[in-house]
């Protein structure tokens, strides 16, 4: 990735939990979340996704009900959550990057 790109510890746990869940459903499905691909797109084009109220941006993960939420702080991109689109949508918004 990039030196200016990081995951909050909570966001890393979100990603791990989602991967473990899908891997438990079907072997290999957890790898199909393609988080690395989504994060690479964010690094390449961080302003492509609109800024939402609260100052974060959100990228949906294709084929899954998850998204990557991130903020831009100076020269850093900080992933604040890997969230499920239907579960408690605001649970992570108090996280600071």
Residue 89 lies in a domain: no
Q: What are the pLDDT tens digits along the chain (97 aa)?
A: 456 999 999 999 999 999 999 999 999 888 888 898 999 999 999 999 999 998 999 999 999 999 999 999 888 999 999 998 887 766 677 676 6
Residue 31 lies in a domain: yes
The CATH number of the domain holding residue 15 is: 3.30.2310.20
Structure tokens at 8: 């909050």
Q: Do the strands 76-84 and 66-73 form a parallel or antiparallel pair, or are they unpaired?
A: antiparallel
5: exposed, middle or buried (C-beta count within 10 Å: 0-12, 13-18, 19+)? middle
Task: Provide the number of structural domains found in the chain.
Answer: 1
Structure tokens at 76: 């850093």
19's torsion region: left (phi>0), alpha (psi -120 to 50) or beta? alpha
pTM: 0.87
Residue 24 lies in a domain: yes
Name the residue range of residue 75's domain.
5-84
* Residue partners of 85: CB distance under 8 A and separation at least 6: 60, 65, 66, 67
């Amino acid at each position: 990735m990039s030196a200016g790109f990081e995951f909050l510890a909570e966001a890393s746990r979100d990603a791990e939990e989602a991967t473990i869940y899908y891997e438990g459903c079907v072997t290999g499905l957890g790898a199909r979340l393609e988080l690395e691909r989504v994060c690479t797109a964010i690094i390449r084009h961080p302003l492509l996704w609109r800024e939402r109220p609260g100052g974060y941006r959100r990228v949906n993960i294709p084929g899954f009900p998850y998204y990557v939420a991130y903020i831009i702080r100076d020269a850093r991109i900080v992933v604040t959550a890997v969230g499920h689109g239907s579960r408690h949508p605001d649970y992570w918004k108090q996280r600071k990057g």
